[in-house]
Every structure is written in C-alpha cells, then in structure tokens.
Structure 1
C-alpha cells in the first residue's frame, strides 16, 4: 500500500510540475528568414511553427491542412505582410482571427525602399521610357511589394532584421511575460550576432562592389543598398509572373553589354531562363537563395542564408575580375 501511495503522489507531482513548454503561446511564422529570428529569441522556451517549409517559395505557396490547423491554434502570428505572403491574407482572416497577428513590415526603425519595375534598373533607361515599357506586363503585379509600393524583401538588410528582432522580442514579452527574461536575453544576443554579421558581410563583399550582375527576380535591393553591390537587372520582377519575350531579350542584351558578369538563379525556380539570357555571352551563372529555400529552418538559418549570398556573389564576381 505504501508503494501504491508513493506512486500516486509521484504521478501527481509530475502532472503538476511545469515543463519548459508550459504556458507558452503557440507561435506561428510565415517564412524561413523570419522564423529564424523568432526561433532565436524563443530558444530555451518553445519552438515556433513554420508555414512555408522546405524548398517551397512564398511566391507560389499553397496552404496545407496542417498550416490551417496551426493558424487556428495560434496565439501569435508573425508575417512580413500583404506584399510578401499574399497566400496568407484570407487564411489569416478566416483562421487566425483569435491570434495576435504581427505585420513585420510595420515594425519601427525599418529602412524601406520603393519597388522597382522593369528588367533593367538604371535611371537613364526609365527616363527614356524603355524600362517601364519592358516591365509593362508585370507592372500591376502585387507580388514582392506592399500597398505603398515598397519592396518587402526587408530582411536582406541586417539592420532591418535587427529592427524586426526588436519588434519580435517586444511582442513575445507582451504575449508571455512569464518568460520575458529569456526573450530579452536571447534578443540581446541576437542583436549582437546580427551586428557582427553585418561587419563580416561588408568585408566579404568589398572586393566585388560595383561589379554588375543579373538576378532571377528582384529580391536584392536591400542587400545592394547596404553593401554597395550592383544588380543591373532581373529576369523577372516577381516569380509569380514569368517574363515575356521582350523582357528576356532586354536582359540578354544587358548581359552582352556588361561583358564577363554573372547571372544568378534561385534554387526554388526553373533555371532554364538563366541559360537563355546567358547564351552566346561570356557570363557565368551562380545561385542565390534570398528566401532560404535550400536551408534547414532554425535559429542559424538567417546567418547561413546571408553568408551564402555574400559568398556566392564574391565567388562568381571575383572570377570576372
């Protein structure tokens, strides 16, 4: 009897004991780069749920039943906003109505850049009417920019990632004050890591500043602005809309004019167009991954993604020196 009584008391104690995950909010995050920041701040407390997993792209994503279930259970949802994850707009209204939805494109302290149209990003081309005409087929596409006409690839400037991390920490503390100290300590550590990363990337990219290159889609404006690299044009403005013959012709001509440069594909999308625009030129090809489609999610992903972009740019553009 003593043994049975002791066992019952022990079981009751275990049931009543708080776990590391007890009383924490259910947190859902839209895309990998943002999930990485949230996961960093939540380390040791709980793990946020990711919507766009694996190699999927937010530009072409279709919701799964498991995503819908996660949104229904969510207490706190982080996303960039309407311009990036347009597939989430209706599900958030229908399924996430009980959650606190944090739109990170509204975070204080962000640097915002206007969305660009057309395939060649040069002022003189736009003044001549050439740039706008080339991009007319995509000028009204809502992908990749918010309703104020701003580019929403905000995380590709580490200082924007820092501003978003501050907002993420604040919202987590509000939602879960019991673990405020952990969120604040993790947030402070994350800020230091982002600042160190910024200095590292400046060193990596200094030798290839102002060497023009072509990208698959116009995702890199914030990276350019921060590090002085020079994207001369994109094959498509948004992967949701494939380029027409005029756009491809224009980019092909630009590649030839630039001489030995680089054209970068992305791992989530068909690379055939890259071959078309480099055909007959001296241009080399590479891969950039601005949405981390090829990387495993988690706290380290943001840093791996940013270092990967810088390294691949340096590797390809240095060969053309």
Structure 2
C-alpha cells in the first residue's frame, strides 16, 4: 500500500482522490494539491473534521463533484466565495455527457436493491471521474480556473494540460486493447459506479446487487442473487474493499462465478502527474484479473 501524502498547506483541495489525480496533473509545478477525504472514506457518509474545515476555509480553490456525491459539502461551502469553487456537475459540457443513475443499458430488472438503508444517488450518476472523456473536460476546467488564479504560470499550466490530454489519449488506446477480449464476459457488481467506464470501453455489466456490507445476507437473499448469476451466466461478481470477502464467498458458494475487487476511488495510489492514468490502468487490471480466462 502506498503512503498517503498530505499537504497541510495545500492551496487546492479536491474532494475525492480521483479528482485529485486530475488536479495534480494540471497544477504540478505551480501549487500543491490535497485530498479532502482520507483513504477508505465514503463521500456519501463522510463527516468533516475541524481540520477539514480549516483546510477548506484556507484553500485557494475547492474542487468537488456535486451535492449527491459529497453530501456534506453544500452546507460547508455556503460561506465560501463561489469564485473559489468548481462544482463539476454544474459544468455545461459535463452535463451533456451525464448518465442517469440506472442507464437503460444496465438492465433495470437485474438491479436488486436489498439494503433499505442504502444511500440512493440522485437522478444522475456522479461517478464522473470514471469517464476519460469527462476527465478531459475536468482538466480543461481546472486549467481555466488556475489561469485566472495564477496568470503568471500560464505556460506551465498549458504544458501540463497538453501533457495530460496526450497521455490520457494513449492510456485510452492501451486500455481498449487490453479489454477487447473480455467485452463479452458478463459480470455483476455490488456498487453501480462504473457505468461511464463500462460504456466507454464496451464492457458487459449485467446489473448490480445492493446489500449491506456489514450484515451477513439471509438465505433468501443468497438464493435470489445466485439465481441471477446463473440465469445471466455471469463470469464474475465484483466487490469493493468495504465488503467482507466472507459475505461474497457465501453468495457465490456452489457456483462457478469468480470474485473480483474493484477500487473506484483509487485508494492507495499516490498523487503524481501520472496518477489518473495509473488509476485507470489499475481498474483495468482488476477487471482482467477476474474476467480474463487464463
């Protein structure tokens, strides 16, 4: 596990780690960037600490996704100058690319919502950092804002943006080649977070199961999920780090379905200029580790 690098005097705050990856790529060599949420924290349920509030108050710029993702942010940002914020869901170019929370091609009838206490997203899927296309728009928006804040650093910022766009385009091509042989291998997830990535690279998500990660599922729940896995001939089911392996093993016990793990928040990946590409490659490898029949 890579060490988490924290910059106590950072002047740019990104709410979640993948947004910080993009921010660092553009701001590198100009200003420090920091991530608000620690590794392992959920943006849906995180409670800000006093030190977080100080960071936000002192930041030159705060970059966040939207009120249905970081539910704690709107109240905190009421007293922060609008010119010191970028709410990514409000960017017009991004709005035209948004997916609904359960896009038509995600098979509504396969979405089994079992945990009644689960947080429900708003109308749109806010996991926008998983779209390479949207990531480029985010980078351009951050670049434009930083040019306003630091006009004397325009040359460095421009070079950083060009490098990011070029590298990301190469990353997309490489990932597409890696995933081409698993595009027809169906799988289920326990968090409907990957729609942008799946759509971009033509992956076959059969649906999502929503269960409480802290509670052992009952017999009926296990049976219902196993029935879905069998009916749709799923190759894999993907959990996230917060899910106990024992719970998932119980669900797939007696089936040929493999268990994989996906990390949509880039947990453990250090903040560097190349982090966003590293993040996408890591997610790709996690998919291949389960879907690819070796």
* TM interval, short-chain normalised: 0.7 to 0.9
TM-score by length of 1: 0.78
- Counterpart Cα distance in 2 of 1:109 and 1:210: 31
- How far the C-alpha of 1:41 sits from its partner, in A, is 0.6
Contact 1:108 1:163 in 2 (8 A): no
Summarize deviations over 1:77-105 as a string: whole Å, max 9, x none.
100111211122222225x3476211112
1:199 aligns with 2:195: no
1:313 aligns with 2:287: yes
SS in 2 for 1:217: coil
**Structure 2: stretches of 5+ with no match in the other structure:** 1-8
- Counterpart Cα distance in 2 of 1:180 and 1:25: 20
Aligned to 2:198: 224
**Structure 1: stretches of 5+ with no match in the other structure:** 1-23
* Structure 1 residues 20-169: aligned runs within 5 Å: 26-94=11-79, 96-97=80-81, 100-110=84-94, 111-116=97-102, 121-122=106-107, 125=109, 134-135=112-113, 141-143=119-121, 145=122, 149-169=123-143
- How far the C-alpha of 1:241 sits from its partner, in A, is 10
- Counterpart Cα distance in 2 of 1:249 and 1:100: 51
- Counterpart Cα distance in 1 of 2:208 and 2:224: 10
* Structure 1 residues 262-281: aligned runs within 5 Å: 262-281=236-255
- Counterpart Cα distance in 1 of 2:203 and 2:267: 22
TM-score by length of 2: 0.85
- Counterpart Cα distance in 2 of 1:289 and 1:314: 13
- State the superposition RMSD in angstroms: 3.0
- Counterpart Cα distance in 2 of 1:39 and 1:262: 34
Higher relative contact order, chain-length normalized (CA < 8 Å, sep 6+): 2
SS in 1 for 2:265: coil
Contact 1:35 1:48 in 2 (8 A): yes
Contact 1:113 1:151 in 2 (8 A): yes
Residues 180 and 171 from structure 1, CA distance in 2 versus in 1: closer, same or farther, beyond 3 angstroms? same
